[in-house]
């Protein structure tokens, strides 16, 4: 069965005049978010480690009439993140919205056997990377008069998952970081929230064998995996003025995974 995101023409200009930065935007959830934000009128910078993919995606959006640009970023490098934020402000004049979505899964192994270099790599990308992004985004958002940030956690931000100690620890950390920053910046006009997707049909799962895919489906009471567009719709809501009193939350889009 095909599952697509419905059109909401009444929100076609909800992000008009806003500038957004989306990391991990060359594919998957990040690209779906970039598309959703440009559909709402935002100017969007697609940032990704895979610069060619980000440039191709941005070119596609521009061809469709959107205001979009691409920049290479390594979220494990604070200087690279700072440069991406500076590029965004230099290109479109400000930064109002940020989606810190870049992440990796890492290998699967029990905690007592987990490769230490893999642990360091996952934590550097999935947790420190979110901190580095907020560290440089928040001053720019304040300079623009306020805005909103969404950090991409996971359903594993509050659940365990055997064989994924680094990913689970990082995604738990993203929620704590989100809540702390939300308290710090609420009175300054910046809303900060986290999204917790269940397992989503993205390139990260494209290579999974059929048995693994069916097992993941079985964990979701709706009987399917989610789509990147469904995550993008929740993210867009949290970034929009419709979510004006939503602050410091962890918001699930998981097909009932956490309700089991």
38: nearest Cα among 51, 19, 25: 19
Q: Is 167 a catalytic residue?
A: yes
Whole-number Å distance between alpha carbons of 43 and 197? 25
Name residues whose C-beta falls within 8 Å of residue 100's C-beta, 6 or more positions apart in sequence: 23, 75, 129, 130, 133, 134, 137, 149, 150, 151, 152
Using alpha carbons, list the distances in angstroms from residue 58 to 51, 54, 71, 102. Answer: 10, 6, 10, 16
214: nearest Cα among 201, 204, 224, 227: 224
SS3 131: helix
- Out of 49, 114, 132, 167, the active site residue is 167
Question: Which letter does DSSP use for residue 124 in this model?
Answer: I
Query: Which residues are identified as catalytic?
Result: 167
């Amino acid at each position: 069965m095909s599952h697509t995101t419905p059109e909401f023409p009444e929100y076609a200009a909800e992000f008009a005049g806003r500038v957004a930065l989306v990391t991990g935007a060359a594919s998957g959830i990040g690209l779906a978010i970039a598309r959703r934000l440009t559909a709402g009128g935002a100017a969007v910078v697609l940032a990704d480690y895979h610069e060619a993919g980000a440039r191709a995606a941005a070119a596609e959006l521009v061809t469709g009439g959107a205001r979009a640009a691409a920049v290479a970023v390594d979220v494990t490098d604070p200087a690279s993140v700072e440069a991406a934020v500076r590029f965004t402000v230099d290109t479109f004049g400000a930064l109002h919205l940020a989606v810190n979505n870049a992440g990796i899964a890492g290998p699967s192994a029990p905690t007592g056997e987990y490769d230490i270099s893999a642990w360091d790599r996952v934590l550097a990308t999935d947790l420190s990377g979110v901190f580095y992004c907020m560290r440089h985004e928040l001053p720019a958002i304040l300079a623009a008069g306020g805005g909103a940030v969404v950090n991409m956690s996971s359903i594993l931000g509050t659940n365990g998952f055997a064989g994924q100690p680094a990913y689970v620890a990082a995604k738990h950390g993203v929620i704590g970081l989100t809540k702390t920053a939300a308290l710090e910046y609420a009175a300054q006009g910046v809303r900060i929230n986290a999204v917790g997707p269940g397992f989503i049909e993205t390139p990260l799962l494209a290579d999974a064998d059929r048995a693994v895919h069916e097992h993941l489906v079985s964990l979701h009471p709706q009987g399917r995996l989610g789509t990147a567009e469904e995550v993008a719709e929740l993210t867009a809501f949290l970034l929009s003025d419709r979510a004006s009193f939503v602050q410091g939350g962890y918001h699930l889009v998981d097909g009932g995974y956490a309700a089991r």
